Amino acid sequence: MTNIKDLAKMSGVSVSTVSRVLNHHPYVSAEKRAAVLKAIECTNYNRNINAVHLSRGKTQLMGVVLPCTDTPYFALLLKGCAKRALENDYKLVLFQTDYAEEKEIEALQMLKQKQIDSLIICSRKCDLALIQEHIQYGTIVLCEKTTEKSLPSVFIDHYEIFFQALEYLYQKGHKKIGYSVGRKTGSNSSLREQAYRDFLKKYKLPFYFDYIMDDCLYFEDGEKVMQRLRSMDIQPTALIITSDQVAAGIMIECQKKGISIPEQLAVIGFNNEPIAKMMNITTIDIPLVELGGDLFLHAYHGYNSNKQISVKLIERETV
């Protein structure tokens, strides 16, 4: 197999000159560049990309850990990462985990083995302690609020925005408020539940365990939410739904059952997706593409800081 020394010998130049030609260095004479390019063509030379990465100390690869790609939330985060990666001549290595801890560990191992330069974790199951063990091998950026100074993050303050949404519904006259999430575990879901409990405590409202509904991610889960509501002895008058897709599914079910929104049931969604605009759903506007882009830039530049992304409530017809 032809190597760089063979190319230098064939073209009658030094190894360093061949290296400059391969790396598109401008300071090579036209004559020498032509000789090297001819040798490359004659030998059908291909660079050992692993050797190039080793010499540069970088792979130009960044890992992205996320549980799935078929929900708008994670799809738009990934879109933001991919846009910035393209601008900076980077490639993304996707780890779709379905919250399987071994898949997250696989990503951490690739960082340790220098197969990727850095790692973005959009949502996780593994402990922070395990992640911290790997920061010595490269930058790891989280998409969650954390008090760990050694772990940079770009995040939405889910406690703050959830409490604000609850306050908004309370001012509208609602005292029986439920909500749905994708999963009850996880840092963001924990912050939402804490905000919910603090809200109930502030206004001395009763806690109903059934009012917290999980495993709600997709449009069709709107039907499941409404089935749960109908089984309750004391039904909520308002819902915060952490997915516009699920909120839209609830809207359709209410239309089928003759339930008037917002007179009989108020609904707030999350993310301000196109479907929320089409169906006039009040929602929390989260700039997910911007969030994904900032996650990439934090990992790319090795920022050791935490950045909070601002969100806002978009008022429409469902409250």
Spell out the residues 6+ positions from residue 23 whose beta carbon is closer than 8 angstroms to its own: none
Q: What angle do CA 66, 88, 286 make, to 5 degrees?
A: 45
- Stretch 167-171: mean pLDDT: 98
Q: What is the model's pLDDT at position 61?
A: 96
Q: What angle do CA 246, 63, 311 make, to 5 degrees?
A: 40
Both tokens assigned to 211: 């009012």
Both tokens assigned to 117: 């330069």
If you average pLDDT over every residue of the chain, what do you get? 92
Pick from 174, 207, 121, 155: nearest CA to 194: 207
Predicted confidence (pLDDT) at residue 93 exceeds the cutoff of 80 = yes
- Stretch 71-86: mean pLDDT: 96
Q: What is the model's pLDDT at position 133?
A: 95
Q: How far apart (Å, rounded) are the C-alpha atoms in residues 129 and 121?
A: 14
Q: What is the model's pLDDT at position 50?
A: 52
Q: How far apart (Å, rounded) are the C-alpha atoms in residues 140 and 289?
A: 19
Question: What is this structure's pTM?
Answer: 0.82
pLDDT tens digits, residue range 190-215?
999 999 999 999 999 999 999 999 99
Spell out the residues 6+ positions from residue 213 whose beta carbon is closer than 8 angstroms to its own: 178, 179, 180, 181, 225, 228
Q: What angle do CA 230, 235, 237 make, to 5 degrees?
A: 120
Predicted confidence (pLDDT) at residue 54 exceeds the cutoff of 50 = no
Spell out the residues 6+ positions from residue 187 whose beta carbon is closer than 8 angstroms to its own: 144, 145, 146
Pick from 61, 53, 50: nearest CA to 110: 61
pLDDT tens digits, residue range 9-51?
888 998 888 878 877 777 888 888 888 888 888 887 666 555 5
Q: What is the model's pLDDT at position 39?
A: 83
